[in-house]
Amino acid sequence: MIRYVLALVAAFGTHFAHADEAVFDSHVHLREGESSLRAYEADVAAAHIKLAGFGGMWFGGPNQALQGDPAKIRANNDAHLALAAKHPEMLPIATVHPYDGQDALDELARVAARGVKVLKLHPHTQKFDAADPRVLALVRKAGELGVVVLFDNANILPGDNERLFNVAIQAPKTKFLFAHMGGMNFRFWNILALVRTTEKFFFDNMYFDISATVILAADSPIEDEFVWTLRNVGIDHVVLGSDYPQIPLGKTVDALRRLGLSDDEQAKIRVENALRLFGRTKAQSE
């Protein structure tokens, strides 16, 4: 009988044993609106995951928010907000292009007034330099409006980690969520353990989504270093993201379980930290 049960677990994975564990997915691309949302939720249901909510963004892949077309960005943000109004489980993530200057600042203020809590920026695909003064002006404005800035941090661009660190230090009133936690250069972020010891310098405003990187780390030669990094940046500052549709949530959750973190650490990363960061209550997620 025991062998039979073990065989079932091996065949179907660990989802059934953990179906009561809620997950907030902070990184979901809804490139085709409603149809993408329904496909995502069907995929989550098939993996037997209890979804506490998710952060959905409209751009990525073939859909980009490029400089010089603020009207198109505004229209896409509006369509995304309309979708979120129909699906309360969705946390809408808007975007602008920093190089659009005042148009970008105005659009940020407009969507914030409509309830947006997260702004996504992607230096690589949007083709901007995170060290540009227009970026700093934008993220500082986000902090004034209570909007979290979600930056891609896969370290595709040279100096990605260093640029984002400097931006965050210069905008201490803004909360930043760095997606992918530096990719395969995640080791850089261990510096935060030392920076926190510097009096009147560090403001503890950096958070990390471990989408994609967690899959590379689990059951790999770098797993221990990855876990060490999570603890050095602070487990309370780590959230889970899938980067759907590129990576399914089920695969991401399974990778998290294999890291050897405590149950309490896993619960914080799966759902608790995200609810706190995004200002969502448990009631909103049920």
Per-residue pLDDT tens digits for 195-253: 988 877 767 899 999 999 999 999 999 999 999 999 999 999 999 999 999 999 999 99
Query: CA–CA separation, 156 vs 263, rounded Å?
Result: 32
What per-residue confidence (pLDDT) applies to 64? Answer: 83
What per-residue confidence (pLDDT) applies to 20? Answer: 63
Query: CA–CA separation, 68 vs 255, rounded Å?
Result: 40
Query: CA–CA separation, 169 vs 164, rounded Å?
Result: 9
In three state form, how does the secondary structure of 151-217 look?
A: EECCCCCCCHHHHHHHHHHHCCCCCEEEEHHHHHHHHHHHHHHHHCCCCCCCCCCEEEECCCHHHHH
Per-residue pLDDT tens digits for 147-191: 999 999 999 989 999 999 999 999 999 999 999 999 999 999 999
Band (pLDDT 50/70/90 cuts) for residue 286 is low
If you average pLDDT over every residue of the chain, what do you get? Answer: 91
Give the pair of three-digit tokens for residue 182: 């530096």
8 A C-beta contact, residue 275 and residue 268: no
What per-residue confidence (pLDDT) applies to 285? Answer: 52
pLDDT exceeds 70 at position 16: no
* Of the candidates 128, 126, 131, 116, the residue with the CA atom closest to the CA atom of residue 161: 131
- What are the b/e assignments for 234-267, b being 16+ CB within 10 Å? bbebbbbbbbbbebbbbebbbbbbbbebeeebbe
The domain 20-285 is classified under which CATH number: 3.90.1150.10, 3.20.20.140, 1.10.10.10, 3.20.20.70?
A: 3.20.20.140
Per-residue pLDDT tens digits for 117-138: 999 999 999 999 999 999 999 9
- Tokens 């109004």, residue? 85
Lowest-pLDDT range, 6-20, 92-106, 178-192, 271-285?
6-20
Query: CA–CA separation, 31 vs 28, rounded Å?
Result: 9
* Of the candidates 248, 243, 228, the residue with the CA atom closest to the CA atom of residue 187: 228
